[in-house]
Protein backbone atom coordinates (compact mmCIF):
# COMPACT_ATOMS: atom_id res chain seq x y z
CA UNK A 1 0.00 0.00 0.00
CA UNK A 2 1.50 3.33 -1.07
CA UNK A 3 1.54 6.20 1.39
CA UNK A 4 3.29 9.52 1.91
CA UNK A 5 5.06 10.22 5.20
CA UNK A 6 6.08 13.65 6.47
CA UNK A 7 9.40 13.26 8.32
CA UNK A 8 10.06 16.95 8.93
CA UNK A 9 9.86 20.35 7.30
CA UNK A 10 9.92 19.93 3.48
CA UNK A 11 10.64 16.20 3.93
CA UNK A 12 7.90 14.10 2.29
CA UNK A 13 8.66 10.48 1.36
CA UNK A 14 6.60 8.08 -0.72
CA UNK A 15 6.80 4.68 1.00
CA UNK A 16 5.05 1.33 1.28
CA UNK A 17 2.87 0.61 4.30
CA UNK A 18 0.73 -2.20 5.67
CA UNK A 19 -2.92 -2.18 4.59
CA UNK A 20 -5.36 -1.63 7.49
CA UNK A 21 -7.43 -4.60 8.64
CA UNK A 22 -10.69 -2.84 9.47
CA UNK A 23 -12.88 -4.42 12.14
CA UNK A 24 -16.04 -3.80 14.13
CA UNK A 25 -17.27 -0.25 13.79
CA UNK A 26 -14.67 0.57 11.15
CA UNK A 27 -14.98 1.15 7.42
CA UNK A 28 -12.02 0.60 5.13
CA UNK A 29 -11.89 3.41 2.56
CA UNK A 30 -9.90 3.31 -0.67
CA UNK A 31 -8.75 6.91 -0.68
CA UNK A 32 -9.14 8.75 -3.99
CA UNK A 33 -8.77 12.44 -3.09
CA UNK A 34 -7.10 14.48 -0.36
CA UNK A 35 -7.26 18.25 -0.27
CA UNK A 36 -4.35 20.27 1.11
CA UNK A 37 -5.33 22.67 3.87
CA UNK A 38 -3.48 25.63 5.32
CA UNK A 39 -2.76 23.56 8.42
CA UNK A 40 -1.13 20.88 6.24
CA UNK A 41 1.09 23.60 4.81
CA UNK A 42 2.15 24.62 8.33
CA UNK A 43 3.22 21.03 8.99
CA UNK A 44 5.04 20.87 5.65
CA UNK A 45 6.79 24.22 5.97
CA UNK A 46 7.68 24.16 9.67
CA UNK A 47 7.20 20.62 10.99
CA UNK A 48 4.76 22.13 13.47
CA UNK A 49 1.52 24.06 13.83
CA UNK A 50 0.96 26.39 16.75
CA UNK A 51 2.33 24.66 19.83
CA UNK A 52 2.08 21.18 18.28
CA UNK A 53 5.26 19.70 16.81
CA UNK A 54 5.95 16.62 14.71
CA UNK A 55 6.83 13.79 17.09
CA UNK A 56 7.18 11.01 14.51
CA UNK A 57 6.75 10.62 10.76
CA UNK A 58 3.04 10.97 9.99
CA UNK A 59 0.80 10.50 6.96
CA UNK A 60 -0.60 14.00 6.30
CA UNK A 61 -4.02 14.98 5.07
CA UNK A 62 -7.43 15.45 6.67
CA UNK A 63 -9.63 16.54 3.74
CA UNK A 64 -10.40 12.98 2.65
CA UNK A 65 -12.72 11.25 0.19
CA UNK A 66 -12.70 7.82 -1.37
CA UNK A 67 -14.71 4.66 -2.01
CA UNK A 68 -15.83 2.49 0.91
CA UNK A 69 -14.49 -1.06 0.66
CA UNK A 70 -16.45 -2.43 3.63
CA UNK A 71 -19.25 -1.49 5.98
CA UNK A 72 -22.74 -0.17 5.16
CA UNK A 73 -21.53 2.06 2.32
CA UNK A 74 -19.38 -0.54 0.53
CA UNK A 75 -18.94 0.42 -3.11
CA UNK A 76 -20.09 4.00 -2.61
CA UNK A 77 -18.07 7.19 -2.80
CA UNK A 78 -17.71 8.69 0.69
CA UNK A 79 -16.20 11.60 2.58
CA UNK A 80 -14.36 11.11 5.87
CA UNK A 81 -14.80 13.34 8.93
CA UNK A 82 -11.19 13.55 10.18
CA UNK A 83 -11.88 14.11 13.90
CA UNK A 84 -12.31 11.11 16.21
CA UNK A 85 -13.54 12.55 19.49
CA UNK A 86 -13.75 10.61 22.75
CA UNK A 87 -17.50 11.05 23.28
CA UNK A 88 -17.24 11.03 27.07
CA UNK A 89 -15.50 14.24 28.17
CA UNK A 90 -17.52 17.29 29.32
CA UNK A 91 -16.93 19.04 25.99
CA UNK A 92 -18.25 16.09 23.98
CA UNK A 93 -21.22 15.64 26.28
CA UNK A 94 -22.05 19.34 25.86
CA UNK A 95 -22.04 18.90 22.08
CA UNK A 96 -18.73 20.70 21.58
CA UNK A 97 -16.92 17.74 20.05
CA UNK A 98 -14.50 20.04 18.23
CA UNK A 99 -13.11 21.06 21.64
CA UNK A 100 -12.52 17.49 22.85
CA UNK A 101 -9.07 17.43 24.53
CA UNK A 102 -8.63 13.75 23.64
CA UNK A 103 -9.54 14.17 19.96
CA UNK A 104 -7.57 12.15 17.41
CA UNK A 105 -7.28 14.12 14.19
CA UNK A 106 -6.17 12.73 10.83
CA UNK A 107 -2.64 13.79 9.91
CA UNK A 108 -1.95 15.23 13.36
CA UNK A 109 0.17 13.85 16.18
CA UNK A 110 0.10 10.05 16.23
CA UNK A 111 -2.92 9.66 13.91
CA UNK A 112 -2.08 9.02 10.26
CA UNK A 113 -4.14 10.91 7.72
CA UNK A 114 -5.41 10.46 4.20
CA UNK A 115 -2.35 10.34 1.94
CA UNK A 116 -2.38 6.56 1.82
CA UNK A 117 -4.22 4.22 -0.49
CA UNK A 118 -6.33 2.58 2.24
CA UNK A 119 -7.66 4.03 5.48
CA UNK A 120 -9.67 2.34 8.25
CA UNK A 121 -11.94 4.86 9.99
CA UNK A 122 -14.95 4.79 12.34
CA UNK A 123 -18.07 4.12 10.26
CA UNK A 124 -19.95 6.83 12.16
CA UNK A 125 -17.53 9.37 10.64
CA UNK A 126 -17.92 8.14 7.06
CA UNK A 127 -20.52 9.99 4.96
CA UNK A 128 -21.89 8.72 1.63
CA UNK A 129 -21.81 11.20 -1.26
CA UNK A 130 -24.45 11.84 -3.87
CA UNK A 131 -23.85 10.06 -7.17
CA UNK A 132 -23.15 13.38 -8.91
CA UNK A 133 -20.26 14.25 -6.57
CA UNK A 134 -16.62 13.56 -7.39
CA UNK A 135 -13.93 12.57 -4.92
CA UNK A 136 -12.51 16.10 -5.06
CA UNK A 137 -15.98 17.44 -4.22
CA UNK A 138 -16.06 15.15 -1.21
CA UNK A 139 -12.64 16.30 -0.02
CA UNK A 140 -13.80 19.94 0.00
CA UNK A 141 -16.64 19.10 2.40
CA UNK A 142 -14.14 19.39 5.27
CA UNK A 143 -13.19 23.05 4.62
CA UNK A 144 -16.88 23.73 3.91
CA UNK A 145 -17.59 22.30 7.36
CA UNK A 146 -15.07 24.73 8.89
CA UNK A 147 -16.73 27.62 7.04
CA UNK A 148 -20.17 26.47 8.17
CA UNK A 149 -19.05 26.18 11.80
CA UNK A 150 -17.61 29.71 11.62
CA UNK A 151 -20.89 30.93 10.14
CA UNK A 152 -22.77 29.34 13.05
CA UNK A 153 -20.50 31.11 15.55
CA UNK A 154 -21.00 34.45 13.79
CA UNK A 155 -24.70 34.64 14.72
CA UNK A 156 -25.15 36.47 11.41
CA UNK A 157 -28.62 37.95 11.02
CA UNK A 158 -30.55 37.88 7.76
CA UNK A 159 -29.48 40.86 5.69
CA UNK A 160 -26.14 41.22 7.50
CA UNK A 161 -23.21 43.07 5.94
CA UNK A 162 -20.33 40.58 5.83
CA UNK A 163 -16.59 40.97 5.25
CA UNK A 164 -14.16 38.14 4.48
CA UNK A 165 -10.45 38.82 4.93
CA UNK A 166 -8.49 36.18 3.04
CA UNK A 167 -9.91 34.53 -0.10
CA UNK A 168 -8.34 31.12 0.09
CA UNK A 169 -10.66 28.11 -0.19
CA UNK A 170 -12.36 28.61 3.21
CA UNK A 171 -12.77 32.32 2.52
CA UNK A 172 -14.31 31.58 -0.88
CA UNK A 173 -16.67 29.06 0.68
CA UNK A 174 -17.67 31.70 3.23
CA UNK A 175 -18.43 34.12 0.39
CA UNK A 176 -20.80 31.54 -1.06
CA UNK A 177 -22.39 30.80 2.30
CA UNK A 178 -22.93 34.49 3.02
CA UNK A 179 -24.51 35.05 -0.39
CA UNK A 180 -26.72 31.95 -0.13
CA UNK A 181 -27.79 32.52 3.48
CA UNK A 182 -29.07 36.05 3.07
CA UNK A 183 -26.21 38.52 3.52
CA UNK A 184 -27.03 41.98 2.16
CA UNK A 185 -23.48 42.78 1.12
CA UNK A 186 -20.28 40.70 0.98
CA UNK A 187 -16.87 42.35 0.65
CA UNK A 188 -13.47 40.66 0.48
CA UNK A 189 -9.89 41.69 1.23
CA UNK A 190 -7.22 39.56 -0.46
CA UNK A 191 -3.68 40.37 -1.66
CA UNK A 192 -3.67 37.93 -4.62
CA UNK A 193 -5.41 39.11 -7.80
CA UNK A 194 -6.53 35.66 -8.95
CA UNK A 195 -8.21 35.03 -5.60
CA UNK A 196 -9.93 38.41 -5.69
CA UNK A 197 -11.25 37.48 -9.14
CA UNK A 198 -12.52 34.16 -7.76
CA UNK A 199 -14.28 35.97 -4.90
CA UNK A 200 -16.09 38.24 -7.35
CA UNK A 201 -17.01 35.27 -9.53
CA UNK A 202 -18.48 33.45 -6.53
CA UNK A 203 -20.66 36.30 -5.32
CA UNK A 204 -18.65 39.01 -3.55
CA UNK A 205 -19.87 42.55 -4.16
CA UNK A 206 -16.33 43.92 -3.93
CA UNK A 207 -12.85 42.43 -3.57
CA UNK A 208 -9.85 44.65 -2.93
CA UNK A 209 -6.17 44.35 -2.08
CA UNK A 210 -5.16 45.29 1.49
CA UNK A 211 -3.66 48.55 0.18
CA UNK A 212 -7.15 49.55 -1.00
CA UNK A 213 -8.92 48.72 2.27
CA UNK A 214 -10.06 52.32 2.69
CA UNK A 215 -12.30 51.97 -0.38
CA UNK A 216 -14.56 49.57 1.54
CA UNK A 217 -17.18 50.68 4.07
CA UNK A 218 -16.28 49.99 7.70
CA UNK A 219 -19.75 48.71 8.51
CA UNK A 220 -19.62 44.91 8.54
CA UNK A 221 -21.61 43.35 11.36
CA UNK A 222 -19.72 40.07 10.82
CA UNK A 223 -16.08 39.75 9.74
CA UNK A 224 -14.37 36.44 8.96
CA UNK A 225 -10.56 36.55 9.19
CA UNK A 226 -9.17 33.60 7.22
CA UNK A 227 -5.54 34.55 6.62
CA UNK A 228 -3.80 33.90 9.94
CA UNK A 229 -1.65 37.01 10.28
CA UNK A 230 -1.75 40.26 12.23
CA UNK A 231 -2.28 42.41 9.14
CA UNK A 232 -5.43 40.44 8.35
CA UNK A 233 -6.68 40.86 11.91
CA UNK A 234 -6.02 44.62 11.65
CA UNK A 235 -8.02 44.77 8.41
CA UNK A 236 -10.82 42.82 10.07
CA UNK A 237 -11.03 45.23 13.00
CA UNK A 238 -11.07 48.18 10.60
CA UNK A 239 -13.96 46.77 8.55
CA UNK A 240 -16.05 45.90 11.61
CA UNK A 241 -18.79 48.24 12.74
CA UNK A 242 -19.21 48.93 16.49
CA UNK A 243 -20.64 45.87 18.20
CA UNK A 244 -19.62 43.50 15.40
CA UNK A 245 -18.40 39.92 15.74
CA UNK A 246 -14.95 39.12 14.31
CA UNK A 247 -14.28 35.42 13.69
CA UNK A 248 -10.58 34.45 13.77
CA UNK A 249 -10.23 31.34 11.61
CA UNK A 250 -6.70 31.67 10.21
CA UNK A 251 -3.81 29.93 11.98
CA UNK A 252 -0.67 32.10 12.45
CA UNK A 253 2.78 30.77 11.54
CA UNK A 254 3.99 31.56 15.06
CA UNK A 255 1.74 30.59 17.94
CA UNK A 256 0.75 34.20 18.62
CA UNK A 257 -1.60 36.89 17.29
CA UNK A 258 -1.83 40.57 18.22
CA UNK A 259 -4.13 43.48 17.42
CA UNK A 260 -4.81 47.11 18.26
CA UNK A 261 -6.61 46.75 21.57
CA UNK A 262 -7.84 50.36 21.66
CA UNK A 263 -9.68 50.07 18.37
CA UNK A 264 -11.27 46.75 19.32
CA UNK A 265 -12.28 48.09 22.74
CA UNK A 266 -13.75 51.36 21.44
CA UNK A 267 -15.84 49.42 18.93
CA UNK A 268 -16.87 46.89 21.57
CA UNK A 269 -16.02 44.02 19.26
CA UNK A 270 -16.58 40.35 20.07
CA UNK A 271 -13.54 38.35 18.93
CA UNK A 272 -14.36 34.67 18.48
CA UNK A 273 -11.72 32.00 17.79
CA UNK A 274 -12.83 29.18 15.54
CA UNK A 275 -11.67 25.61 16.24
CA UNK A 276 -12.21 23.24 13.30
CA UNK A 277 -15.88 22.19 13.06
CA UNK A 278 -18.46 19.96 14.70
CA UNK A 279 -21.09 17.65 13.22
CA UNK A 280 -21.39 19.68 10.02
CA UNK A 281 -21.01 17.01 7.31
CA UNK A 282 -24.75 16.29 6.85
CA UNK A 283 -25.52 20.02 6.57
CA UNK A 284 -22.57 20.62 4.25
CA UNK A 285 -23.75 17.80 1.99
CA UNK A 286 -27.24 19.27 1.93
CA UNK A 287 -25.93 22.71 0.94
CA UNK A 288 -24.02 21.15 -1.95
CA UNK A 289 -26.97 18.98 -2.95
CA UNK A 290 -29.27 22.02 -3.15
CA UNK A 291 -26.76 24.04 -5.14
CA UNK A 292 -26.26 26.66 -2.43
CA UNK A 293 -22.48 26.08 -2.35
CA UNK A 294 -20.32 24.96 -5.28
CA UNK A 295 -17.43 23.04 -3.73
CA UNK A 296 -15.97 22.25 -7.15
CA UNK A 297 -15.44 25.95 -7.80
CA UNK A 298 -12.56 26.18 -5.32
CA UNK A 299 -10.50 23.26 -6.70
CA UNK A 300 -7.79 24.52 -9.06
CA UNK A 301 -5.17 21.74 -9.18
CA UNK A 302 -4.99 17.94 -8.83
CA UNK A 303 -1.71 16.02 -8.56
CA UNK A 304 -1.01 12.27 -8.40
CA UNK A 305 0.31 10.82 -5.15
CA UNK A 306 3.83 10.43 -6.54
CA UNK A 307 3.93 14.21 -7.07
CA UNK A 308 2.85 15.01 -3.51
CA UNK A 309 5.93 17.15 -2.87
CA UNK A 310 5.13 19.30 -5.92
CA UNK A 311 1.51 19.55 -4.81
CA UNK A 312 2.59 20.88 -1.40
CA UNK A 313 4.95 23.38 -3.04
CA UNK A 314 2.21 24.68 -5.36
CA UNK A 315 -0.20 24.95 -2.44
CA UNK A 316 2.41 26.76 -0.33
CA UNK A 317 3.02 29.26 -3.14
CA UNK A 318 -0.76 29.91 -3.29
CA UNK A 319 -0.62 30.07 -7.06
CA UNK A 320 -4.12 28.58 -7.35
CA UNK A 321 -6.99 27.85 -5.00
CA UNK A 322 -7.53 24.38 -3.50
CA UNK A 323 -4.89 21.79 -4.37
CA UNK A 324 -6.02 18.15 -4.29
CA UNK A 325 -3.87 15.01 -4.40
CA UNK A 326 -5.48 12.11 -6.28
CA UNK A 327 -4.77 8.48 -5.40
CA UNK A 328 -6.94 6.82 -8.07
Instruction: Write out pLDDT tens, residues 89-146.
Output: 999 999 999 999 999 999 998 999 999 999 999 999 999 999 999 999 999 999 999 9
pLDDT of residue 51: 81
- The angle formed by the CA atoms of residues 129, 83 and 133, to the nearest 5 degrees, is 15
Alpha-carbon distance 44 to 7, whole Å?
9
- What residue segments make up the domains of the chain, in order of their start? 2-139+294-326, 145-273
Alpha-carbon distance 298 to 319, whole Å?
13
- Closest-CA residue to 172 (of 137, 139, 207): 207
From the CB of residue 102, how many other CB atoms can be counted at a distance below 10 Å? 12
Torsion angle (degrees, nearest 10) of CA 230, 231, 236, 238: 120
pLDDT of residue 81: 98
The CATH code that applies to domain 2-139+294-326 is: 3.90.180.10
pLDDT tens by residue, the chain, 328 residues: 999 999 999 999 999 999 998 889 999 999 999 999 988 998 899 888 878 889 899 999 999 999 999 999 999 999 999 999 999 999 999 999 999 999 999 999 899 999 999 999 999 999 999 999 999 999 999 999 999 999 999 999 999 999 999 999 999 999 999 999 999 999 999 999 999 999 999 999 999 999 999 999 999 999 999 999 999 999 999 999 999 999 999 999 888 999 999 999 999 999 999 999 998 999 999 999 999 999 999 999 999 999 999 999 999 999 999 999 999 8
The CATH code that applies to domain 145-273 is: 3.40.50.720
Amino acid sequence: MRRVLLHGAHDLRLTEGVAPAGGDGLTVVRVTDVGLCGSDLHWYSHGSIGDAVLVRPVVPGHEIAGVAQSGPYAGRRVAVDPAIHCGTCPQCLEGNTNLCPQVRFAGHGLTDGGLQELLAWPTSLVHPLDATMTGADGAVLEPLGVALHAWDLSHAAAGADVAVVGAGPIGLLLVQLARSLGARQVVVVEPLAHRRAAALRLGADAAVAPADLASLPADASVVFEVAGNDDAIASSLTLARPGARVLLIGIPDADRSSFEAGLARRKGLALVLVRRMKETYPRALDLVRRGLVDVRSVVSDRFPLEDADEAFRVATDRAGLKVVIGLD
